[in-house]
Structure 1
């Protein structure tokens, strides 16, 4: 194949094939996947169109030229629906592909006519039968003659494709889309010009081969340049996003590590907390098992920390805890453990000893380290510690059981008074087993409906009418029988079951009051005790509000009792929680008033309605002048603060009379009634109402 035109056509065939290959490669990384694949197909079709043109131009005779010309026609027909499909794939409007399918059907019909007709679909008659001489002297077989209506139809389809492309480019230009580049516009103009010359060649007015393939080659290069630039930008953006994600993941990892550290460590002292201590104790336990050595767990409880917090403030108490932690660190062995388990409780893990005597010496060293007075904020504090010790393998077979055994020993030490140390004894093992069994049963007790409520009335001192019933939870254990709250409530708090149990008590008490209200007892309310953990739970207000709504009660139908010692653990936070509860209209009272170490400065800030005078003062009111004076002082304090005062533990008429004389508003105790089941409490309310009705009728008579 000689001649410059043929050479240019063949070069364009290779260039267009390369463009098709690159467009297919770009389809994998471009956001225009369908458009890239379509463009690759168009490039390949144009390459075949150019090759068929070469075959026609260099044909040895007319028959060969016509055969080649039919392929030129075929590939030109295939280009029109492909171009429609390309624009439709870039155009995101609905219905963009419908016209494409119509054009494709028309092109398929024309292609069939092309191979049936003697000269192809383009010509009805030919005006030439020999190669023509081009203006620059080269000879090529260029066919010309009378065109057909089918050819006119294809021209209309091609014109529609160009118009669609032009409208799309205008819209893209206005929207500043990626394909609104000037190169695209220039390429479109070149295609329009080269395509518009074809009719003149077909009529013989111009002796030029079809040039639209060269115009498209410029468009292909421009398009691939833009797509490649976009792909490069996407790759750069992907790298940037990957780097940002990597930084974010690293930041998240560091935050997660900080969070895990916070979960396992005490913020005040920097020591491990309970979770961290258990992890370390488990590791120490495994090491002791493998090395056949002994280990001990020493639990230390700082006596009278609540007094320090109440009298000198929490800042001094916190500094004291930090100093205790520092002293314990100084005596800790390399393979030992020092952790803070709670408010005033520390655990020391001792390992790596062969004999109990070595363990005892290290325990003595720890106790000696915390024995000297503490100098805090210029004050010298003489503190004592209660301590419990448990030893592996003598007292437990796991880290958790060892810590629990030390806890039982500590409990025994505290019962003996401040400053005592006790070692776990095998006789306490039964208590430990019972505790574990009780914990397991406690988890299922609520589900199996083993809890029920008793109600102890509070009567008005003036006329002994029942105005409030305190709800007291009981547990009917399937084998142990009746279990009282002082035995299972601490377990519920330790195991985290107190939230569900406390919610059930509030809800059950409200339901019972709703029943009493339905019976006409309009002035009676119920009181429920809150544990320390319940008060500090964030969803307590939601629990109370939901219980009131379900029962159709008002806020002041419910009274919540909080012990004084619980309030003083965190006065500021307690005040915030109580304010939220009072906002619901709920009545609030301080239980066991006088037994804690409260600050009067805090007491006047508490948003409560009543104090409950502890039974320990009421018990000896008739025998002890001091107790009588304490009761009188408490009543005077309540009166000055505008609060009700409830005396609990009233057991005889003398106590009731003295408390009434002092000005107590409400009385509660065995003298009036023991805690009663719901049906018995209902009977008492009925009797109380009938008695009041009888008194009213006598007064009326």
Structure 2
């Protein structure tokens, strides 16, 4: 069956298809590609809507007509989110796009309902079979019936879309011509009339095909005119923006000198940054080359900056950096350069130096300026700086190479610990390559299980019983062999991996103590050494608590040893952290007492249980030096403070006798045992032959053999 009405629908299909093709072509290379493509999709959807309407009108029977009617429904639903998205692309607002996505989601649900419903989403039921005869005698299929709730909701959505288009049109047509505005409003009126007629047809009041597609032909022309006008206006705006940008560029050219200053300066300290320093070094190199003098390059790296940032906050760290910069500037000449290279690194370039001695004097002056404590966050902080130095023309010529040489020397200094000075020399490159390989191996040592622990006993000076076992870490590497802690502990601190290594030591020590407790050794505890990063930065309390719980131990089963120098870096923070550890029941002791710069005032308030006499004082007891007086004074001080005292490095019976008479509590050294492997320590604990016990009770001369229990021993502490 073919009718003139259906023919009009099929003709409109071609018109819409042509419009879709034209809009797609316009999208290529256009800044409004999204709008053009959406308009193309909308025209294509209207073409399919018109096509299915024509097929419905000319269907051969009810089933075919109803099937095509469902397709009419699908394309009519798709028109709503596409139209909404088109207007949203013209507005170009995030909220408009969000609303379009919500409408699209609702449309998807309606399409799903349309698929499973017998009569589509429009009708609960149809009034008649739908075949009607037009006044001029042609028969077409037009359905009417009882509307569904979904259809009523879609009608509301369509109404909302029309309101949205009208509001946008009121705003956008103010920029257009009057003729365009009039055409657009006529098209909107036609669409509104077509929608009302469609509703009357669905309810059975009239029998009329859907005319919305023909109304859109006028709307499409209007939208094209509006979009073209909007594109033109936006191009005008782009030209205005371009003109203003050109003006701004000219203005910036005038302020170029100020811009260069900001570009080459450090915002925090006001010093030149790395780029600014390199520019200034060019002039100094030329000056020293002409005068045949030396140019000394020093890179100072504040060792404690990470600890200050971690414990007192970045504001305190910034304050420290500002004061360091001020001190360096105060102690150089006007012709010298002071710059900040980043983080805690500062460059000092001193020119006009005639001899190597002059270079040394410059360093001593700068190091002395940084030696005094800094007042940061209402407290005094003492810092150290690792320093790398290079000299022109002795080491290298170009400014970048000279700076790289000093940085290489700094890396060498930091590898040897904190507060070191190293000068660059050509062989340092080969040395540093080896060191880098060593650092890489150290990073992998923990994962490869290359660390192990040895234990050195601490015996009671009164009973001779083993009271404590100090855990001492060792590194067994396939290439480097047995590496002692003095070779890698400071390097691990510099690399920032000491906290993870220390956590492993705590856990492994607790695990081994738990094993010894299971063997019946209930009166012995384990002493573990801590680094500065563990005490002042890392989550030490959580690490210790977790290890104790995992191995079913209590706080009094372990003792944490902190070196005196670590405590004095930040005494207030150290006291705070030690107090938190003491609340867990953990014993605390000061290691290497007497070798640092401690204050007796701090010693009085430190929450510790014991301190260890450094081995250097014990060794000096036999040489007739002042070691005996120092040991006597330290032991007397410990007694008055109610602290336990441990003497390290006890190797002779004379030292044993003297320390006992002075009242020392615990003794540790080769006289009793070297650091022992786990197996050797277990044999040591079970051994009943302990020659020093009888000597302690008799307090008389005796021959004391060095204990060499079977198993691996590592001599160094």
TM range, smaller chain:
0.5 to 0.7
CA RMSD after TM alignment? 6.7
**Quick one: distance in 2 between partners of 1:77 and 1:513?**
79
Structure 1 SS opposite 2:468 = strand
Contact 1:266–1:340 at 8 Å: present in 2 too? Answer: no
**Quick one: distance in 2 between partners of 1:676 and 1:391?**
48
**Quick one: distance in 2 between partners of 1:195 and 1:411?**
85
1:560, distance to aligned residue in structure 2 (A): 1.8
Q: Which stretch shifts more, 677-686 or 211-220?
A: 211-220
User: Is 1:166 equivalent to 2:174 in the alignment?
Assistant: no
Contact 2:78–2:107 at 8 Å: present in 1 too? Answer: no
Structure 1 SS opposite 2:528 = strand
**Quick one: distance in 2 between partners of 1:654 and 1:425?**
48
- The superposition leaves residues 598-637 of structure 1 with CA deviations (integer Å, 9 ceiling, x where unpaired) of 2344334433332222233334457879655544554454
Structure 2 SS opposite 1:330 = coil
Equivalence for 1:498: 498
Equivalence for 1:134: none
Equivalence for 1:363: 359
Equivalence for 2:136: 143
1:541, distance to aligned residue in structure 2 (A): 4.0
Equivalence for 2:617: 617
Contact 2:458–2:467 at 8 Å: present in 1 too? Answer: yes
Tell which structure's C-alpha radius of gyration is larger: 1
Pair 1:671–1:429, CA change in 2 (3 A): farther
**Quick one: distance in 1 between partners of 2:630 and 2:690?**
37
Contact 1:87–1:164 at 8 Å: present in 2 too? Answer: no
**Quick one: distance in 2 between partners of 1:566 and 1:436?**
27
**Quick one: distance in 2 between partners of 1:160 and 1:640?**
99
1:469, distance to aligned residue in structure 2 (A): 0.6
Alignment of 1:140-219 (within 5 A): 142-143=135-136, 151=141, 154-156=142-144, 160=147, 164-170=150-156, 191-192=195-196, 196=200, 213=211, 217=215
Equivalence for 1:684: 684
Equivalence for 1:325: 328
Structure 1 SS opposite 2:527 = strand
Equivalence for 1:538: 538
Equivalence for 2:453: 453
Contact 2:300–2:386 at 8 Å: present in 1 too? Answer: yes
Equivalence for 1:670: 670
Pair 1:270–1:459, CA change in 2 (3 A): farther
Pair 1:518–1:399, CA change in 2 (3 A): farther
TM-score, L = length of structure 1: 0.58
Counterpart pick for 1:92 among 83, 89, 106: 106
**Quick one: distance in 2 between partners of 1:266 and 1:181?**
50
1:92, distance to aligned residue in structure 2 (A): 1.8
**Quick one: distance in 2 between partners of 1:300 and 1:197?**
88
Contact 1:588–1:607 at 8 Å: present in 2 too? Answer: yes
Pair 1:635–1:512, CA change in 2 (3 A): same
Equivalence for 1:247: none
Alignment of 1:12-31 (within 5 A): none
Structure 1 SS opposite 2:106 = coil
Equivalence for 2:76: 83
Alignment of 1:445-524 (within 5 A): 445-446=445-446, 449-476=449-476, 482-524=482-524
**Quick one: distance in 2 between partners of 1:483 and 1:509?**
19
Contact 1:277–1:337 at 8 Å: present in 2 too? Answer: no
Pair 1:601–1:213, CA change in 2 (3 A): same
Structure 2 SS opposite 1:682 = helix
Contact 1:477–1:483 at 8 Å: present in 2 too? Answer: yes
- The superposition leaves residues 56-97 of structure 1 with CA deviations (integer Å, 9 ceiling, x where unpaired) of xxxxxxxxxxxxxxxx99999975554356579756287522
Structure 2 SS opposite 1:568 = helix
Equivalence for 2:132: 122
**Quick one: distance in 2 between partners of 1:475 and 1:75?**
81
Contact 1:392–1:402 at 8 Å: present in 2 too? Answer: no
Q: What number of residue pairs does the alignment pair up?
A: 556
1:591, distance to aligned residue in structure 2 (A): 0.6
**Quick one: distance in 2 between partners of 1:278 and 1:469?**
55
Contact 2:390–2:405 at 8 Å: present in 1 too? Answer: no
Contact 2:405–2:424 at 8 Å: present in 1 too? Answer: no
Structure 1 SS opposite 2:457 = strand
Pair 1:546–1:301, CA change in 2 (3 A): closer
Structure 1 SS opposite 2:144 = helix
Contact 1:395–1:402 at 8 Å: present in 2 too? Answer: no
**Quick one: distance in 2 between partners of 1:439 and 1:522?**
39
**Quick one: distance in 2 between partners of 1:625 and 1:515?**
44
Pair 1:99–1:606, CA change in 2 (3 A): same
Contact 1:329–1:338 at 8 Å: present in 2 too? Answer: no
1:443, distance to aligned residue in structure 2 (A): 4.6
Structure 2 SS opposite 1:155 = coil
1:37, distance to aligned residue in structure 2 (A): 4.6
Contact 1:81–1:103 at 8 Å: present in 2 too? Answer: no
TM-score, L = length of structure 2: 0.56
**Quick one: distance in 1 between partners of 2:331 and 2:535?**
32
Contact 2:502–2:534 at 8 Å: present in 1 too? Answer: yes
